[in-house]
Amino acid sequence: MAEQIAENQDNSEYGRLLGQEYLTFSLGDEHYAVDILKVQEIRGYGAVTKIANAPSFIKGVINLRGVIVPIIDLRIKFNLGKAHYDEFTIVIVLNLANRVVGMVVDGVSDVVSLAGDEIKNPPDFSANFDSEYILGLATVDEQMLIIADIEKLMSSEEMALVDKTRARAE
């Protein structure tokens, strides 16, 4: 009980640190937000080269101006929405810890500025999107935004984006 009170007190402090701009995107019916400073660019989906023996949510690699960038589909990874690809399919290219990763999303919605106290601590729940990778929740225009710790997610072993030894070292 005491812990919980302490946590609530920390809440505003916790949130203030996060007060900044976020890029919001949708996956199925859910809305997510990532730190805009981690976003390198947004581009269309196309010309993906499949990789041998890769999990299904890793769509392959693309050539991003001479750099080979892996593309993952979060919709497949988290069973959200239908994974179909057309000319409107969007890839958010993220720059995380000197690695470039592209993620396929259903759509990019907006850039929102969230003040620290607008972000609430996530409750503990079990979901595909493990709460470990959620920094907080916020409400914008009566919609719940899930603020994702995208760096932690992408470097997790679960995503198989990084060599195991490297993942551990990081």
Partner 1 sequence: MSFDLSQFNQLFFEETAEHLATMESLMLNMDVQSPDMDDLNAVFRAAHSIKGNSGTFGFNDMTAVTHELETLLDLVRKGETDLTDEMVDVTLQAGDVLGGMLEAHQNGEEPDQEPAKAVIEELNRQLAIAKGGDFPQSEPQSGQTFAEELPPQTEATQSALTQSYLIRFPAPDQELDMLFDSLKELGDLTIIDAPSEDSNDWLFSLQTDSAKDDLKDLITFMVPEDNLSIEEELSADDGSFGFFETVGSDESSDDDVGYGFFDDLELSDDKAPQAAAKEDDDPGFGFFDDEPEEASSDSSDKKDSTQPDSDKSDADPGYGFFDEPEESSAKEMSSSSDKSSEKEQKSDKSDQGTEFDGYGFFEPLKNQPAAKQENSSAKSADKPAPAKVETAKSRSAKPAAAAAVKGGGADSSIRVSVEKVDQLINQVGELVITQAMLAQMASEVDPILHEKMANGLAQLERNTRDLQDSVMSIRMMPISIVFSRFPRVVRDLAGKLNKKVKLEMVGENTELDRSMIEKLTDPLTHLIRNSLDHGIESPEARAAAGKDQTGTILLRASHQGGNIVVEVQDDGAGLNRERILSKAQEKGIAVSENMPDSEVWQLIFAPGFSTAAAVTDVSGRGVGMDVVKRNITSLGGRLEIESMEGIGSRISIRLPLTLAILDGLQVALGDEIYIVPLTSIIGSMQPDPNDIKTVSGEGAVINVRDEYLPIIKLGELLNMPAEFNDYEQGIMVVLESDGKRVGLFVDDLVGQSQVVIKSLEANYRKVDGVSGATILGTGRVALILDVEELISMHKKRAKKKPSGMLVQGV
Q: Does 166 bind partner 1 (CB under 8 A)?
A: yes
Q: What is the C-alpha to C-alpha distance for residues 91 and 41, in angstroms, rounded to an integer? A: 9
Stretch 44-83: interaction string toward partner 1, x if CB under 8 A: ---x-xxxxxx-----xxxx-xxxxxx-------------
- 144 token code pair: 């719940």
Based on CB atoms, which residue is closest to partner 1, 99 or 152?
99
DSSP state, residue 100: E
User: Given phi > 0 = left and psi -120 to 50 = alpha, else beta, which region is 84?
Assistant: beta
Q: Does 36 bind partner 1 (CB under 8 A)?
A: no
CB of 42: closest distance to partner 1 in angstroms? Answer: 17
Q: Which residues are CB-neighbours of 79 under 8 A, at least 6 positions away?
A: 128
CB of 157: closest distance to partner 1 in angstroms? Answer: 11
Q: Does 140 bind partner 1 (CB under 8 A)?
A: no
Could you tell me the sign of the dihedral formed by the alpha carbons of 143, 140, 79, 18, in that order?
negative
CB of 84: closest distance to partner 1 in angstroms? Answer: 17
Q: What is the C-alpha to C-alpha distance for residues 92 and 71, in angstroms, rounded to an integer? A: 9
Show contacts with partner 1 in window 83-102 (CB under 8 A).
99-101
Residues lying near partner 1 in the complex (CB under 8 A) are found at 47, 49-54, 60-63, 65-70, 99-101, 160-163, 166
